[in-house]
Amino acid sequence: MSAAWNPRASEEGETPPRPELSNWGRWGEDDEAGAANLLSPEVLLAALTLPRSGEVVQLSQVIGDPKAPRNGAPPQHFMLHDAGDYLAGAKAPSGFQTAVDHLSWATHGSVTHLDALGHVWYDDQMFNGYDHRAARSNGLRRLGIDKAPPFIGRGVLIDIAKTKGVTRLDPGYEVTAADIEEALQSAGEALQAGDCVLIRTGWITAWESDDVRYHGDRPGIGLDAAEYLARHDVALVGADNSGVEVIPWAPGTVCPVHQFLIRDCGIYLLEFLDLEELSRRDATAFLFIASPLRIRGGTGSPIAPVAVL
Amino acid sequence: MSAAWNPRASEEGETPPRPELSNWGRWGEDDEAGAANLLSPEVLLAALTLPRSGEVVQLSQVIGDPKAPRNGAPPQHFMLHDAGDYLAGAKAPSGFQTAVDHLSWATHGSVTHLDALGHVWYDDQMFNGYDHRAARSNGLRRLGIDKAPPFIGRGVLIDIAKTKGVTRLDPGYEVTAADIEEALQSAGEALQAGDCVLIRTGWITAWESDDVRYHGDRPGIGLDAAEYLARHDVALVGADNSGVEVIPWAPGTVCPVHQFLIRDCGIYLLEFLDLEELSRRDATAFLFIASPLRIRGGTGSPIAPVAVL
Amino acid sequence: MSAAWNPRASEEGETPPRPELSNWGRWGEDDEAGAANLLSPEVLLAALTLPRSGEVVQLSQVIGDPKAPRNGAPPQHFMLHDAGDYLAGAKAPSGFQTAVDHLSWATHGSVTHLDALGHVWYDDQMFNGYDHRAARSNGLRRLGIDKAPPFIGRGVLIDIAKTKGVTRLDPGYEVTAADIEEALQSAGEALQAGDCVLIRTGWITAWESDDVRYHGDRPGIGLDAAEYLARHDVALVGADNSGVEVIPWAPGTVCPVHQFLIRDCGIYLLEFLDLEELSRRDATAFLFIASPLRIRGGTGSPIAPVAVL
Amino acid sequence: MSAAWNPRASEEGETPPRPELSNWGRWGEDDEAGAANLLSPEVLLAALTLPRSGEVVQLSQVIGDPKAPRNGAPPQHFMLHDAGDYLAGAKAPSGFQTAVDHLSWATHGSVTHLDALGHVWYDDQMFNGYDHRAARSNGLRRLGIDKAPPFIGRGVLIDIAKTKGVTRLDPGYEVTAADIEEALQSAGEALQAGDCVLIRTGWITAWESDDVRYHGDRPGIGLDAAEYLARHDVALVGADNSGVEVIPWAPGTVCPVHQFLIRDCGIYLLEFLDLEELSRRDATAFLFIASPLRIRGGTGSPIAPVAVL
């Protein structure tokens, strides 16, 4: 970890991210998968034994649903051919009729997505010390989302909103390490290396009531919680908000949780989740599956993660 | 199944698709998931017990890789911000640096994708009898890809190319029911209801050697094999070519396998797979996972399926 | 004009659009250019004699300028290659350096544009009696913007806001025939056949002060003014708002001015103009030039019209 | 002009571009319009007197026409709503029916377009000495196409193919200063400052016969002709090929004509013209009009230029 950087530099008396939490070099000098390395075959095989009912809960938002939160312009869905064309006279050769479409969207703005490790950095260096000049107009030459393997492992729901007894946490509420411990204790779970941790803030429900409210201050994790999760060697941190971390950031910092988890630790962030159904079912630990599209040099991928109970 | 339709009408003496193979009404009048209903919790739980090594094999092509086959214009990957911008003077507030992107592509032309059940039809009726007028310029009102659940079940590799001892099957080679049985026998497997069947033709290697060759006649399954698979109640049929079925089609027909499997049987097609690694590993039956993006009214979804061995 | 249609049907005592204002068949059964036929060589040559100073005033909004009004998502401008790439290490073969881009936008939502005659219709018939089934997923087979010739003729500024002594007209203000006559009289001009008429409401300034205000009730012309302009055989009606016509529409009607001018009369609408500079210069009659992109089957075209004074 | 640069450095005995042809600083240190400054009101007013017949000839290719040459993927034209939707049951409120669309294309690849002065450069400096770091992921901060004014002036057709008595020039044929003089003499014309010069090679007809042939060696102007045109102070050079200049380039150079005309001289290039009709009419000098879309920071603009005879 760069000695020069301190996401909390402006806060006197705060401890900077500890060098021992950095994962640079841990999986080799040429590694581009980061904490996904924690999802070993053993971790995977153990996770496969978790399901009891075989029920599947989808954790992604519906793309194109006006009720699904997003950040920026909505996804674009163009139909290239549809039934109307046949009604208007298009021929159906040998009876064959078809509808086909085209998709266009900003990865980080409009859909449930997994961040690539090359999505954010500071001091001109990305995770594992890669030079940031890898990020060019034709994509990421290092740490693109095509370097992220499928995530198949143990998922753990950290249901902060439920623990606090609210529909959703307050705007600007910072989820702390203590909050996470409280939620785990309440669920009777403990974190394990390689876990895929899903933080439920309930913030997805803010979209329904007020768009403007949604994009202002919002609940999420802060550096304290991020360090706690990094110390427990999780592979992935997801949340039901637009960027996992709390807004406002600590004074003098911009996206400190992204900077720390992605760039220092190589831990993946999964954003715009829908955790409502999982919460309704009182899920705690489960088989978690998230397979990113293999987009060459992509800064992230739209994704459809699931929990198997 | 519509009595009026016969994808082999022009071939004298041929048997039309048998009405008993139609799955209309089988899972209820309002069903939009089709053969995915076969992936019951029991089927899923049984599939979770298959993996021995915990190794994961990715089955999708790399999006944007010029060596990956496609049909039409390549996927578009636009970088909205990258490291070059910082080098050119863009500010990094509080040290935060980021790369973000935008994607644009035709679902059925340029990426590994799962077809929605509303993707094809004939006689103005889609699977389960839905009126084709559901397919409009703003998407599918019925049978969109958002109605397809995640596929988590048993995958079976039908490695025709390996059984025949070739790198890839010949252009225009029709994979038959007998071929499938031969491959199964050789692998010591038998089909089960709810299986996700992956047909390996080796055709993906034709792209490397010749683009023009790739889009001409090609190997794939014909109606004979499709009926065999439908009779065995598979949930999904994937292949390592651009449309699962053999080209040329039987005289007087257009996409007869699409018409039969999707529209009559509600069985899903998965296209542009890369099955080379799976074949190298001599995989036969395994845990198969494919979770489509929940695109509201989409005619299909880019997807990153995996096999767990 | 269809006898069955009456955009004012719900207003008792109102006169329906008079059949004599319809231009169907006027320029031949196969005509697709409509009132652009009025821009004869004679009209063009006469217009070329109007300029005195040779000064050019641009009438389009700047695409991508956040201060430019739009309706919907902003235009997308993707850079495919830029200077940052060279700074990040891209080679410049033989010294050659380049920046290239990609554009993506909705014609009618985000840019100054000319409507094609096939953009709107009613009773399943387009201008000149063309069957609406010409409008399919691959574009307009009739009356596409590629059938609209370049407009080079006399432009006349109808500066209603200036005549009324206001920065902009009130929301919902309906510009009437009397208003147009008053503005013309004040400018000492009279309409001629083939004129390209530009209506200034000042509404473009509403965007600067309030986005929400911009898209609510707004000033524009109503059917009374539209009929007046049609009676004077203008070729084109432009305005500095998002749709030329006043909102709210008369009760029981939707876009009645579009329906009447485009579908009944074949008169072109030009939207999202910036007429502020033209007004500041007290322009009245001038050489007007607007050359639409020849988009095969397009429902309209982004355009950069100019006035030469 | 940079002393260090020499697009012909590898050709012994060749004269490098002369510093006196550079237009840096000529129209002021802050100028971003370059040779468009030559289109003075006087030049414009004189050009308005040229037309005799008032006939308009369109010089752009039809966008989306498969017979129109392009370089790369075809333009994308998505219909957002069309007649088929009404036929499939969409409501037409108060009778209103509409078709709307969305466009997506690469500026330099797929349409008739005008290059911005910031499109190409060398030695990290753009025209007029602007630092190339102006070219970032959000567009050109200097020399974008929004800085190019409408071109309204004298157009001159340099019909090399006709002068040589061929349908189209041979692949790799370099149009020279002598060729231009020959064509001018044959047409009885002489160049004037501010002229918009259109070079006809006939290469557009190569697309019809062979796509592969189109993108290989092709006729166009070389540096000799470019210097001749620069010396005559033309404002714009257009051609009926994909990049104005001859391919192959002189050994050791890449796009030398682009580098010289755009970066050194601030002279505009107009590409993918269709000059066939203009040639058929034996046009020589005429009123030329080309009004680029005002795309903020654009590297070029799709455009629909016309000649008025």
Mutate to test the interface with A, among B55, B115, B293 (most CBs of A within 10 A): B293
Chains in contact with C, where contact means 3 or more Cβ–Cβ distances below 8 Å, are A, B, D
Same domain for B115 and B223, yes or no, is yes
Confidence of residue C303 (pLDDT cuts 50, 70, 90): very high
A65 min Cα distance to partner chain D (Å)? 17
Share of chain B above pLDDT 70, in %: 94
Chain C CB contacts of D124 below 8 Å: 83, 86, 97
CATH number at residue C234: 3.50.30.50
pTM to 2 decimal places? 0.94
Cα separations (Å) of C189 from B147, C158, C280?
62, 10, 18
Same domain for C91 and C164, yes or no, is no
Nearest CA in chain D to B133: D88
Same domain for A113 and A99, yes or no, is no
Examine residue C25 and state whether it is found in any structural domain, yes or no: no
- Residue D46 has which token pair? 């004189």
Nearest CA in chain A to D103: A78
Nearest CA in chain A to D82: A84
Same domain for C93 and C189, yes or no, is no
| Per-residue confidence (pLDDT) for residue C209, from 0 to 100 | 64
Examine residue C181 and state whether it is found in any structural domain, yes or no: yes
| Per-residue confidence (pLDDT) for residue B211, from 0 to 100 | 72
Share of chain C above pLDDT 90, in %: 89
C275 min Cα distance to partner chain D (Å)? 15
- Asked if D79's CB is within 8 angstroms of B74's CB, the reply is no
Examine residue D268 and state whether it is found in any structural domain, yes or no: yes
| Per-residue confidence (pLDDT) for residue C18, from 0 to 100 | 60
Examine residue D221 and state whether it is found in any structural domain, yes or no: yes
Nearest to A78 among D78, D83, D88 (CB): D78
- Asked if D80's CB is within 8 angstroms of A84's CB, the reply is no
* pLDDT above 80: residue A20: yes
| Per-residue confidence (pLDDT) for residue C3, from 0 to 100 | 35
* pLDDT above 80: residue A19: no
Examine residue A5 and state whether it is found in any structural domain, yes or no: no
Chain B CB contacts of C80 below 8 Å: 78
Q: Please state the domain count of chain C.
A: 2
* pLDDT above 90: residue B40: yes
Nearest CA in chain B to D81: B137
Chain C CB contacts of D146 below 8 Å: 62-63
Confidence of residue A209 (pLDDT cuts 50, 70, 90): low
Same domain for C151 and C195, yes or no, is yes
Nearest to D103 among C48, C94, C104 (CB): C104
Nearest to A102 among D78, D84, D86 (CB): D78
Confidence of residue B19 (pLDDT cuts 50, 70, 90): confident
Nearest to A77 among B40, B298, B302 (CB): B298
pLDDT in tens, C180-216: 999 999 999 999 999 999 999 999 999 976 677 888 9
Confidence of residue A183 (pLDDT cuts 50, 70, 90): very high
| Per-residue confidence (pLDDT) for residue D227, from 0 to 100 | 97
| Per-residue confidence (pLDDT) for residue B8, from 0 to 100 | 30
* pLDDT above 90: residue B218: yes
Same domain for B144 and B262, yes or no, is yes
Chain D CB contacts of B136 below 8 Å: 84-85, 88-90
Spatial separation of the C-alpha atoms in residues C189 and C177, rounded to whole Å: 15
Confidence of residue B288 (pLDDT cuts 50, 70, 90): very high
- Asked if A152's CB is within 8 angstroms of B289's CB, the reply is yes
Nearest to D136 among B88, B135, B138 (CB): B88
Same domain for B113 and B102, yes or no, is no
Same domain for C123 and C258, yes or no, is yes
Chain D CB contacts of B88 below 8 Å: 133-136
Chain C CB contacts of A85 below 8 Å: 136-138
- Asked if residues A256 and A230 have their Cβ atoms less than 8 Å apart, the reply is no
- Asked if C73's CB is within 8 angstroms of A137's CB, the reply is no
* pLDDT above 80: residue A15: no
* pLDDT above 90: residue C15: no
| Per-residue confidence (pLDDT) for residue B210, from 0 to 100 | 63
DSSP assignment of chain D, as one string?
--TT--TTTTSTTPPPPPGGG--TTTT-TT--SGGGGG--HHHHHHHHT--SS--EEE-BPPBT-TTS--SSSPPEEEEEE-HHHHHTT---GGG-EE-EEEEEEEHHHHS-EEEPTTSEEBTTB-GGG-BGGGEETTEESSS-GGGSPPEEEEEEEEEHHHHHTSSSPPTT-EE-HHHHHHHHHHHT----TT-EEEEE--THHHHHH-HHHHHSSB-EE-HHHHHHHHHTT-SEEEESSSSSB-BSPSTT-SSHHHIIIIIIT--EEEESB--HHHHHTT--EEEEEE----BTT-SEEE---EEE-
- Asked if C303's CB is within 8 angstroms of D294's CB, the reply is no
Nearest to A136 among C88, C133, C135 (CB): C88
- Asked if C80's CB is within 8 angstroms of B84's CB, the reply is no
Examine residue B138 and state whether it is found in any structural domain, yes or no: yes
Examine residue D4 and state whether it is found in any structural domain, yes or no: no
Same domain for D283 and D196, yes or no, is yes
- Asked if C137's CB is within 8 angstroms of B102's CB, the reply is no
3-state class (DSSP) for residue C243: coil
Nearest to C149 among D41, D56, D290 (CB): D56
Whether the ω angle into residue D171 lies within 30 degrees of 0, i.e. cis, is: no
- Asked if B82's CB is within 8 angstroms of D133's CB, the reply is no
Chain D CB contacts of A102 below 8 Å: 76, 78
Pairing of strands B306-308, B285-290: antiparallel
CA A45 to chain centre: 23
B278 min Cα distance to partner chain C (Å)? 36
The arithmetic mean of pLDDT across residues A286-304, rounded, is 98
Mutate to test the interface with D, among C10, C94, C253, C303 (most CBs of D within 10 A): C94
* pLDDT above 80: residue A5: no
Nearest CA in chain D to A82: D84
- Asked if B94's CB is within 8 angstroms of A150's CB, the reply is no
Q: Specify the higher pLDDT residue, A71 or A35.
A: A35
Report the 10 Å Cβ neighbour count for A156: 25
Structural domain boundaries, residue B102: 75-106
Report the 10 Å Cβ neighbour count for D13: 5
Chain D CB contacts of A83 below 8 Å: 84, 88
Examine residue C136 and state whether it is found in any structural domain, yes or no: yes
* pLDDT above 60: residue B5: no
Chains in contact with D, where contact means 3 or more Cβ–Cβ distances below 8 Å, are A, B, C
pLDDT in tens, B151-206: 999 999 999 999 999 999 999 999 999 999 999 999 999 999 999 999 999 999 99
Nearest CA in chain C to D139: C79
* pLDDT above 90: residue C173: yes
- Asked if residues D225 and D207 have their Cβ atoms less than 8 Å apart, the reply is no
Handedness of CA B167, B172, B173, B176 (dihedral sign): positive
| Per-residue confidence (pLDDT) for residue D213, from 0 to 100 | 82
pLDDT in tens, B107-140: 999 899 999 999 999 999 999 999 999 999 999 9
- Asked if D84's CB is within 8 angstroms of A83's CB, the reply is yes
Same domain for A117 and A89, yes or no, is no
A76 min Cα distance to partner chain D (Å)? 10
- Asked if C87's CB is within 8 angstroms of B88's CB, the reply is yes
3-state class (DSSP) for residue B219: coil
Read off the amino acid at residue B183: A
pLDDT less than 70: residues of chain D: 1-18, 209-210
The arithmetic mean of pLDDT across residues C254-258, rounded, is 97
Mutate to test the interface with C, among D294, D296, D301 (most CBs of C within 10 A): D294
pLDDT in tens, A55-113: 999 999 999 999 999 988 899 999 999 999 999 999 999 999 999 999 999 999 989 99
Same domain for A83 and A162, yes or no, is no
Nearest to D295 among C77, C121, C137 (CB): C77
B209 min Cα distance to partner chain A (Å)? 21
pLDDT in tens, D152-181: 999 999 999 999 999 999 999 999 999 999
Q: How many CB pairs under 8 A join A and D?
A: 32
| Per-residue confidence (pLDDT) for residue D18, from 0 to 100 | 60
Q: How many CB pairs under 8 A join C and D?
A: 298
Report the 10 Å Cβ neighbour count for D238: 29
Residue D124 CB burial class (10 angstroms; 0-12, 13-18, ≥19) = middle
- Asked if A82's CB is within 8 angstroms of D87's CB, the reply is no
Same domain for A199 and A93, yes or no, is no
Chain D CB contacts of A85 below 8 Å: 84
Nearest to A78 among D84, D86, D102 (CB): D102
Spatial separation of the C-alpha atoms in residues D9 and D250, rounded to whole Å: 10
- Asked if D136's CB is within 8 angstroms of B79's CB, the reply is no
* pLDDT above 80: residue B241: yes
